[in-house]
Chains A and B, each alone.
Chain A
Amino acid sequence: EVQLVESGGGLVQPGESLRLSCAASGFTFSSSSMNWVRQAPGKGLEWISYITSSSSTIYYADSVKGRFTISRDNAKNSLYLQMNSLRAEDTAVYYCARDQVLRVWGKGTTVTVSS
């Protein structure tokens, strides 16, 4: 079964950091490009970052550029999102999703930034 499982979310204060993980199974992770997409409470979907299978190409949304870093470990079938200098507006459910067409999604992990 094709599966993505996010972890690492939690409650942090503004300015703090958090690292999200996404564990992949059931498909050839090393051949797949990956994304992070988030959804603030009661709001729509916002794409935030993309990484190719070999990590050769990476893109970020302007809203997170310079603060978030996407990476992957193909040997561990894992995708990561390092989030620094977190703000209240980063509060959201964070999903990892496979491919440029977001064919497969995880169930998400919740990040809350609040003092």
Chain B
Amino acid sequence: EIVMTQSPATLSVSPGERATLSCRASQSVSSNLAWYQQKPGQAPRLLIYGASTRATGIPARFSGSGSGTEFTLTISSLQSEDFTVYYCQQYNNWPLTFGGGTKVEIK
């Protein structure tokens, strides 16, 4: 099983600033990496797939990069609605596995 590790667990950022979230895979997942946003009481929402492709309707301030074992989600200028939890997920191998999540909070 591929273990996905997200860091940091909590990220404190001021509105308007840039947030950089990291995700590491225990072995290569190529570019088969997705990012999800989950707000309290809601289902997750797909942000990024293929490590860097934005899903339909996702604002341009969200961007993804990386391949192999190291990945990054960048939110260029945090808006109030962006302060929530983010998960990475690999879909290169079964079982599908998620990282433990990064909570982005207001500084």
Interface residues on chain B, number (Cβ under 8 Å): 22
Interface residues on chain A, number (Cβ under 8 Å): 19
| Given A102-B34, A102-B44, A106-B43, also A59-B100 (CB < 8 A) | no
| Given A102-B34, A102-B36, also A47-B96 (CB < 8 A) | yes
Binary interface encoding of chain B residues 90-103 relative to chain A, with 1 for a CB under 8 A from any of its CBs, else 0: 01001111111100
Cα distance A47–B92 when bound, in Å? Answer: 14
Residues of chain A whose beta carbon lies under 8 Å from any beta carbon of chain B: 35, 44-47, 50, 59, 61-62, 95, 100-108
Given contacts A102-B34, A102-B36, A102-B44, 9 further A-B contacts (CB under 8 A): A45-B87, A47-B89, A47-B96, A47-B98, A50-B96, A101-B34, A102-B46, A102-B89, A107-B42
